[in-house]
Amino acid sequence: MELTGLRGATAAVPARRCRGASELCFALPPARLRHPLPRETQQQGRRRRRGVKVVAAISEELPRLASPGIKGGAGGERRSSREKVALRAALTVRRKQKEDIKEAVAGHLDALWDMVGRNVVLELISTKIHPRTKKPMQSGRVSIKDWCQKRGAKGEHVVYTAEFTVDADFGEPGAITVANRHNREFFLESIVVEGGELPCGPVHFACHSWVQSTRELPTKRVFFSNKPYLPSETPPGLTELREKELKDLRGDGTGVRKLSDRIYDYATYNDLGNPDRGKEFIRPILGGEKIPYPRRCRTGRPPTDTKMLAESRVEKPHPIYVPRDEAFEELKQGAFSSGRLRAVLHTLIPSLIASISAETHNFKGFHHVDNLYKEGLRLKLGLQEHLFQKIPLVQKIQESSEGMLRYDTPSILSKDKFAWLRDDLFARQAVAGINPVNIERLQVFPPVSKLDPAIYGPPESSVTEAHIAGHLNGLTVQQAMDEAKLFIMDYHDVYLPFLDRINAIEGRKAYATRTIFFLTQAGTLKPIAIELSLPPTQPGEARPSKVMTPPCDATSNWLWMLAKAHVSSNDAGVHQLVNHWLRTHATMEPFILAAHRHLSAMHPIFKLLHPHMRYTLEINALARQSLINADGVIESCFTPGPVSGEISAAYYRNHWRFDLEGLPADLIRRGVAVEDATQPYGIRLLIDDYPYANDGLLLWSAIRSWVESYVQLYYPDARTVQSDLELQGWYHESIHVGHGDLRHEPWWPPLSTPADLASILTTLVWLASAQHAALNFGQYPLGGYVPNRPPLMRRLLPDLERDSAEYAAFLADPHGFFLNAMPGVLEATKFMAVVDTLSTHSPDEEYLGEGRDEGGVPWTADEEAVAAHSMFAADVRRAEEIIERRNVDHSRKNRCGAGVLPYELLAPSSPPGVTCRGVPNSISI
Ligand SMILES: [Fe+2]
């Protein structure tokens, strides 16, 4: 047994776990919840347990702070505030690993200036306020003294020191301000303050932030200690600073952002087009009443010359603004910039090759595709040596000295080169591929469209019982539906409204597809009908549709192959535009912006979310710049082309619901699971061997348990949730501004109880980690063989009635017809380069369940939170072991069998590179 218990998918009462040797089980809630203490006592108890001493307690201990030899300090006498104690701060600064000459010179200059007084100045702020002035107690200003001496020190990290002298009744340091009077920014990793006889022991400040020169940002930076405080529990000495820091982070909504800023604000997606380049580069603004969409990070750039409402573009290589601490750190930059170089190689060079020789537009045969992994592409550009030098040897796409560019063989081919030709792989991809989130139970036959019949014609599908009756193991259609044996991937309504515009583009041809699957006794799916529809020629008329069924001769075999290619192309588009980009990257961004604007760094929920927000703003900015922009990689490589953004926006407006984005709710919505309180997760899957759902539920459950236990530590009752103004401000703004176009939807979950909070946070952590990983890291390994999963189709099926010449050509050369229907060499190689990059784990990736401490500083001073996270880490490790066992279990035919790839996309750990596994904490690529 892998996981047992009685935890419903929407359990309202958090339960505490007990552990056996080989399984997880769930017991009753902890005693303190069943017998809650009176409010005062409980909160005081929590403070003691978390090491957050109340101010009164510190005052009582003050006599013991006396340093021997200081006048009046010994003997237990109460001291006057004029008595002093010494405290020492150790600041860990991370250096850039590679400095160019300009930076090295600037560093030396700063070291020299430091000697004459233009230095880094610190002030320590107490958690107490001064009894007379009613202001926070502060140390005097001190400077870092050893900056200049350590200029030549080796190593990535340098520890500097500063010494404070504070009043004996200073109390506990709660914040520290830093004024960087150098010319250059520096990255402050952490500060530890100790000395005197601090009753609380050393105080840790986890900073992880760029400190700008006061020339750039005149205000001092403030860092809080790693003790979490709800707003109502903020020590009086920190209250004002807490509010000011958040105000600074919010900005005033005006001005052009500089790269050194750290302001988090909102804007619409009005920078995807480039109207100044021409009409064909105009794109609608995504966001607003007309086209609802999530908000993105505001940059404040000026409008374009030709359209006032469109923000001007920032072209490569200049970066788009993100708040300074959101930018990739050096290691990640290295990984990504090399990825960008690869993209250049595959965007620029094939484009030139194609322009030089028209013969290279199309693949000449399947061997021509295979050669991309074997012989490679011969490059003929003068720039290549310059670019090649920058590609690390470990990169997946390598070049030989002859200037050959070679891809790795995608995993999908590595174990069974011919699997892609068969229906079993086609069906397996719906439950264990890179887009395992669109399979639904078929509950109405024939399937029905929800589109307006006045425009799109009668809503019924043209699939009839006669088409599928022979494939149902003797069941009638109704019996098969009743027994949950029929499933569907329905892309009809997603594509149909856009097909006229797509198919009018030269070299782009698509259908709106539906695929019906039968669940076999072996637990595998079998495609039994594919419907290919086009829009009606006149509004309201019947749609021209073809229904294809499993083949029985050579001709129908090739037509079936082409139909599957069109389905895969529909699937690739929905995967990229809707499930991957919209439902993880884009919809998370408003929650992240609002978190930085409303939750103080000392807020426990900020601390929980922090690792799950890492780099998301930066990767989304890069996506706006190079991937989802007009004529960007997504438009040029995927069939929908210029309507890509609108397809994603249509899903957001018509289907996206935050309350159904959690895994159990999504499975139930799609009808592939039903609620069942007797099952481990409160739901029962209708496809038992559904690798994405099987493994996903393991991680979902682990995340939920961790979040619930963490929330319990800070929110004993509904009142604490409702009265937390920062928390409520975060959620309110996420909905009313970040997702403001959908703010009136009735389905937004309330945030009134600890259970509400745990549920919302579980969904966010799930989306940022496991859900994104499942949709992201298989893109090259499972999608890099273009004939199996063409992101773009260029031809419809040959039609005997419509064009007999084309049909004759198809009969004469079906290989050639198929190859000419899928992407050409340029689109294919460009796509492969990009998805290879997107599938790459950076060397500094942080995976789910790994330690949260950075630079040796605990992420929180709350020992119970640390203990709860250790339990989570153990759950995640256990999940990985279970996943490994499942992958060698021959009864699970969707992940184990002859030439079958294991399903590892939700196996949490991974080495760097393209591994088709690994669950990072955040959406970072
Ligand atoms: Fe991604």
Give the mean pLDDT of 58-62: 30
772 Cα to the center of ligand 1, angstroms: 6
Poorest-pLDDT segment among 8-22, 569-583, 749-763, 905-919: 8-22
| Residue 715: HSE in the Cβ half-sphere, 13 Å Cα cutoff | 27
104 Cα to the center of ligand 1, angstroms: 35
Per-residue pLDDT at 836: 84
389 Cα to the center of ligand 1, angstroms: 27
Per-residue pLDDT at 894: 98
Query: Sorting pLDDT into bands at 50, 70 and 90, what band is 110?
Result: confident
Higher per-residue confidence, 817 vs 118: 817
Q: Strand order in 157-167's β-sheet? A: 157-167, 84-94, 186-195, 203-211
The contacts of residue 826 (CB under 8 Å, 6+ apart) are: 350, 351, 353, 354, 361
- pTM given for the model: 0.89
Among residues 467, 596, 610, 772, the one annotated as catalytic is 772
Give the mean pLDDT of 590-598: 98
Q: At what angle do helices 825-838 and 330-356 cross, to 10 degrees?
A: 170
Question: Which residues on adjacent β-strands are paired with residue 94?
Answer: 157, 187
438 Cα to the center of ligand 1, angstroms: 18
Query: Sorting pLDDT into bands at 50, 70 and 90, what band is 910?
Result: very high
Check residue 765 and report its DSSP letter.
H
923 Cα to the center of ligand 1, angstroms: 6
Per residue in 226-268, pLDDT (tens digit) is 999 999 999 999 999 999 999 999 999 999 999 999 999 999 9
779 Cα to the center of ligand 1, angstroms: 10
3-state secondary structure of 582: helix
pLDDT surpasses 60 at 664: yes
- Whose structure tokens read 């804007």? 267
Poorest-pLDDT segment among 37-46, 362-371, 452-461: 37-46
Mean pLDDT of the chain: 86
pLDDT surpasses 70 at 684: yes
Q: Which amino acid is it at 357?
A: S
Tokens of 923: 């959406």
- Whose structure tokens read 């960007």? 632
Query: Sorting pLDDT into bands at 50, 70 and 90, what band is 107?
Result: confident
**C-beta separation of 338 from 395 below 8 A:** yes
**C-beta separation of 915 from 841 below 8 A:** yes
634 Cα to the center of ligand 1, angstroms: 13
850 Cα to the center of ligand 1, angstroms: 20
How far apart are the C-alpha atoms of 570 and 568, rounded to whole Å?
5
Cis peptide before 446 (omega within 30 of 0): yes
Query: Sorting pLDDT into bands at 50, 70 and 90, what band is 35?
Result: very low
Per-residue pLDDT at 198: 78
577 Cα to the center of ligand 1, angstroms: 11
Per-residue pLDDT at 224: 98
What are the angstrom distances between the C-alpha of 126 and each of 92, 176, 245, 398? 21, 9, 16, 56
Per-residue pLDDT at 632: 87
Per residue in 301-325, pLDDT (tens digit) is 999 999 999 999 987 767 899 999 9
Among residues 182, 492, 580, 610, the one annotated as catalytic is 580
922 Cα to the center of ligand 1, angstroms: 9
Query: Sorting pLDDT into bands at 50, 70 and 90, what band is 20?
Result: very low
- The DSSP-derived string for 660-708 is G-SHHHHHHHTTSEEE-TTSTTSEEESSS--HHHHHHHHHHHHHHHHHH
Per-residue pLDDT at 360: 63
Per-residue pLDDT at 832: 87
Query: Sorting pLDDT into bands at 50, 70 and 90, what band is 800?
Result: confident
Question: Which residues on adjacent β-strands are paired with residue 489?
Answer: 515
pLDDT surpasses 70 at 274: yes
Cis peptide before 611 (omega within 30 of 0): no
Per-residue pLDDT at 389: 46
Poorest-pLDDT segment among 430-439, 547-556, 614-623, 755-764: 614-623
611 Cα to the center of ligand 1, angstroms: 16
How far apart are the C-alpha atoms of 922 and 845, rounded to whole Å?
9
628 Cα to the center of ligand 1, angstroms: 12
Poorest-pLDDT segment among 59-73, 663-677, 772-786: 59-73
579 Cα to the center of ligand 1, angstroms: 10
Among residues 776, 788, 887, 921, the one annotated as catalytic is 776
3-state secondary structure of 782: helix
Higher per-residue confidence, 664 vs 339: 664
- The DSSP-derived string for 530-565 is EEEE---SSTTSPPPEEEE----SHHHHHHHHHHHH
Angle of CA points 885, 887, 889, to nearest 5°: 70
| Residue 793: HSE in the Cβ half-sphere, 13 Å Cα cutoff | 27
Query: Sorting pLDDT into bands at 50, 70 and 90, what band is 375?
Result: confident
Per-residue pLDDT at 148: 81
Poorest-pLDDT segment among 76-85, 280-289, 686-695, 752-761: 76-85
Poorest-pLDDT segment among 13-17, 422-426, 821-825: 13-17
925 Cα to the center of ligand 1, angstroms: 5
User: Is residue 580 flagged as an active site residue?
Assistant: yes
pLDDT surpasses 90 at 735: yes
User: Is residue 191 flagged as an active site residue?
Assistant: no
Query: Sorting pLDDT into bands at 50, 70 and 90, what band is 463?
Result: very high
pLDDT surpasses 50 at 749: yes
What are the angstrom distances between the C-alpha of 726 and each of 243, 347, 737? 10, 46, 15
Among residues 208, 471, 585, 598, the one annotated as catalytic is 585
Angle of CA points 682, 684, 685, to nearest 5°: 135
94 Cα to the center of ligand 1, angstroms: 28
Give the mean pLDDT of 780-789: 96
The contacts of residue 508 (CB under 8 Å, 6+ apart) are: 502, 639, 641, 792, 793, 794
166 Cα to the center of ligand 1, angstroms: 49
Per-residue pLDDT at 804: 85
Q: How many CB atoms lie within 10 A of CB 794?
A: 21
Per-residue pLDDT at 605: 98
Q: How far apart are the first and last CA of the chain?
A: 35
- Closest C-alpha among 740, 832, 713, 745 to residue 783: 832
| Residue 809: HSE in the Cβ half-sphere, 13 Å Cα cutoff | 13
386 Cα to the center of ligand 1, angstroms: 29
Per-residue pLDDT at 404: 64
Question: Which residues on adjacent β-strands are paired with residue 123?
Answer: 177
Per-residue pLDDT at 331: 52
Per-residue pLDDT at 359: 58
pLDDT surpasses 80 at 352: no
- Closest C-alpha among 584, 545, 540, 583 to residue 566: 545
User: Is residue 634 flagged as an active site residue?
Assistant: no
Per residue in 122-136, pLDDT (tens digit) is 999 999 999 889 999
Give the mean pLDDT of 364-388: 71
Per residue in 66-83, pLDDT (tens digit) is 333 333 333 333 445 568
430 Cα to the center of ligand 1, angstroms: 19
- Closest C-alpha among 705, 706, 833, 703 to residue 773: 703
Per-residue pLDDT at 633: 86
How far apart are the C-alpha atoms of 219 and 124, rounded to whole Å?
16
